[in-house]
């Protein structure tokens, strides 16, 4: 006999049998509310929202031109005129931070739109077709996973030459394999699920099954993974910037700001403290958000 625990009429009463219809929007709002109920996740949401606002409205928020040098006012400590002080060229650190959010978002965005689809495609195909497709794809991911991502990114940036785009490519190259693995694992559990079998029985092509059935189900966990990945991306980008291989001057990338500010760190703590805090905060926010999303999607295991 079957395990009766599996089958639990969650909504038992008669009333619940005709429960009100949730529209997608309502469901979304509800989930969002639930997400925000946890103070940690909520703060993640707020910080990410702030980041977005900063990036979109950078010219309105920034008090100075982030690139304008003023060699007469170098390394000024935080004051009313320069909230977060100025750097070694007399540029306003606050404004650079604000504009830096654009760089950060740009990196995150690019990496994510590369990594998500690639990982999803490779993973689902690998899991669904199995056999040699799986072997080939998984060997390739194995190879990529065999390197610590920072090392691989370093190697690629060194190979391609420093620069923001190259950093993005390098980070993307290093971060798709875990996504693919996740998608594959999900696909493996879905591949034999009854609804996929049903679709096959109805004559659905592999393509249709992959795109209409499997991808859809992989998405939530993929989104969680990608959100958490964003935190890693920020850190890796910052690390590349720190090692001088990321964004190139005068672009106000946070990691690069730390890297250059480091020389002045002992006297001008603000050069390192603020970008460092920004990286930490944003990365933390994405982690919190990802955590919250995961809680939302899979309340049992975190």
Partner 1 sequence: MDVLTVEKLNVTFRTDEGLKHAVRDVSFTLRNEKLAIVGESGSGKSTVGKAILRLNPPSTRVTAEKLQFGKTNLLACNEKEIRAIRGQHISMIMQDPKFSLNPVMTVGEQISEALSVHRNISRREAKEAALEMLKEVSIADPEHVYSQYPHEISGGMGQRVMIAMMVIPEPDIIIADEPTSALDVSVQQDVLNILTRLIEKKNISLIFISHDLNLVKKFCDRVLVMYGGRVVESIKANELSNASHPYTRGLMESLPSLKHRRETLPVMTRDQNWLTQEYTT
Partner 2 sequence: MISIQSLSFDMPGSTKSKRILNDINISIGKGECFGLVGESGSGKTSILKCLAGQFQGWEGAIAIQGKSLAETSLKERSNTMQMVFQDPYGALHPRHTIRKILNEPLAIKGLSDKSERILKALKDVGLDETFLPRYPHQLSGGQRQRVAIARAIILDPDIILLDEPTSALDVSVQAEILNLLTSLHRRHQLTYLMVSHDLGVIAHLCERVAVMKSGEIVEVVSRDDLVEGNVAHAYTKVLLQHALSRE
Partner 3 sequence: MIRSRVSRVTKKTGVILITLFGLLTMTFVIGRLMPIDPVLAVIGPDADSSTYQQVFDEMGLGKPIWVQYYYYLQDMLSGDFGRAILTGSPVIDDILRVLPATIELASIAIMVGVGLGVPLGVYAATHRGRLGDHLTRLITLFGYSTPVFWVGMVGLIIFYAWLNWAGAAGRIGFAYDGMFTSYTGFYLVDTLLSGNIEAFVSALRHIALPALILGLNSVSFIGRMTRSFMLEQLSQEYIKTARVKGLSERSVIWKHAFKNIRVQLLTIVALAYGGLLEGAVLIETVFAWPGFGQYLTDSLLMGDMNAVMASVLFIGLVFVFLNLLSDALYKMFDPRTQ
Residue 116 to residues 105, 109, 124, 156, 173: CA-CA distances in angstroms?
A: 16, 10, 12, 20, 12
Binding window for partner 2 (CB under 8 A); candidates: 46-54, 198-206, 248-256, 257-265: 198-206
Q: Which is nearer to partner 3, 137 or 213 (CB)?
A: 137
Closest by CA position to 279, among listed 287, 268, 267: 287
- Please name the residue that has the structure tokens 């959100």: 227
4 lies in the site for ligand ATP, by CB under 6 A: yes
> Whole-angstrom Cα distance, residue 141 to residue 119?
10
Q: Which is nearer to partner 1, 26 or 143 (CB)?
A: 26
Contacts 24+ apart (CB under 8 A), 10-17: none
60 lies in the site for ligand ATP, by CB under 6 A: no
Q: Restricting to residues 237-266, name those near partner 3 by CB under 8 A.
A: 238-239, 242-243, 255, 258, 262, 265-266
Number of residues interacting with partner 3: please give it, by CB under 8 A: 46
Closest by CA position to 63, among listed 51, 81, 87, 76: 81
Q: Map residues 46-75 to x or -, x wherever contact with partner 3 holds by CB under 8 A.
A: ------------------------------
Q: Which does 155 bind (CB under 5 to 8 A by kind): partner 2, partner 1, partner 3, none?
A: partner 3
Select from 38, 65, 69, 200 the one that contacts partner 2 (CB under 8 A): 200
Q: Restricting to residues 14-33, name those near partner 2 by CB under 8 A.
A: 17, 19, 21-22
Both tokens of residue 221? 């966990």
For 25, phi and psi rounded to 5 degrees?
A: -60, -45
> Whole-angstrom Cα distance, residue 292 to residue 153?
28
SS3 state of residue 2: coil
Alpha helix ranges (H) inside 12-92: 14-17, 24-37, 39-56, 58-61
Query: Which sign, positive or negative, has the C-alpha torsion 42, 149, 177, 107?
Result: positive
Binding window for partner 3 (CB under 8 A); candidates: 9-17, 99-107, 158-166, 211-219: 158-166
- Yes or no: say if 44 and 289 are a contact pair by the CB < 8 Å rule: yes
Q: Which is nearer to partner 3, 126 or 287 (CB)?
A: 287
5 lies in the site for ligand ATP, by CB under 6 A: yes
- Tell me how far, at minimum, the Cβ of 209 lies from partner 3, in Å: 28
Q: Is 75 left (phi over 0), alpha (psi -120 to 50) or beta?
A: left
Element holding 141 (H helix, E strand)? helix 131-145
208 lies in the site for partner 2, by CB under 8 A: yes
Contacting residues toward partner 1, per CB under 8 A:
1-5, 7-10, 12-15, 34, 299
Contacting residues toward partner 3, per CB under 8 A:
39-40, 139-140, 142-152, 154-156, 158-161, 231, 235, 238-239, 242-243, 255, 258, 262, 265-266, 272, 276, 279-281, 283-284, 287-288, 291, 300-302
Contacting residues toward ligand ATP, per CB under 6 A:
4-5, 8, 10, 12
Contacting residues toward partner 2, per CB under 8 A:
1-2, 6-7, 9, 11, 17, 19, 21-22, 193-195, 197-205, 208, 212-213, 216-217
């Amino acid at each position: 006999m079957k395990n009766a625990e599996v089958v639990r009429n969650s909504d038992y009463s008669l009333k619940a049998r005709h429960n009100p219809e949730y529209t997608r929007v309502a469901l979304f709002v509800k989930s969002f509310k639930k997400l925000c109920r946890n103070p940690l996740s909520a703060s993640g949401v707020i910080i990410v929202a702030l980041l977005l606002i900063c990036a979109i409205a950078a010219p309105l928020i920034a008090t100075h031109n982030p690139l304008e040098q003023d060699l007469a006012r170098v390394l000024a400590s935080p004051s009313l005129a320069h909230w977060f002080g100025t750097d070694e060229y007399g540029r306003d650190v606050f404004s650079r931070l604000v504009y830096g959010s654009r760089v950060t978002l740009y990196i995150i965005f690019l990496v994510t739109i590369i990594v998500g689809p690639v990982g999803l495609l490779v993973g689902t195909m690998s899991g669904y077709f199995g056999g040699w497709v799986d072997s080939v794809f998984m060997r390739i991911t194995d190879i990529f996973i065999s390197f610590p991502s920072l090392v691989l990114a370093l190697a690629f940036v060194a190979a391609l030459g420093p620069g923001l785009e190259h950093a993005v490519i390098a980070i993307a190259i290093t971060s798709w394999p875990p996504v693919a693995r996740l998608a594959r694992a999900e696909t493996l559990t879905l591949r034999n699920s009854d609804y996929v079998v049903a679709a096959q029985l109805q004559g659905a092509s592999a393509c249709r099954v992959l795109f209409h059935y499997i991808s859809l189900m992989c998405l939530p966990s993929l989104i969680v993974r990608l959100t958490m990945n964003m935190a890693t991306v920020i850190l890796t980008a910052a690390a590349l910037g720190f090692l001088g291989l990321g964004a190139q001057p005068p672009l106000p990338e946070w990691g690069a700001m730390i890297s250059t500010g480091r020389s002045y760190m002992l006297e001008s703590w603000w050069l390192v403290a603020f970008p460092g805090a920004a990286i930490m905060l944003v990365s933390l926010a994405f982690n919190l958000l990802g955590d919250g999303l995961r809680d939302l999607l899979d309340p049992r295991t975190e």
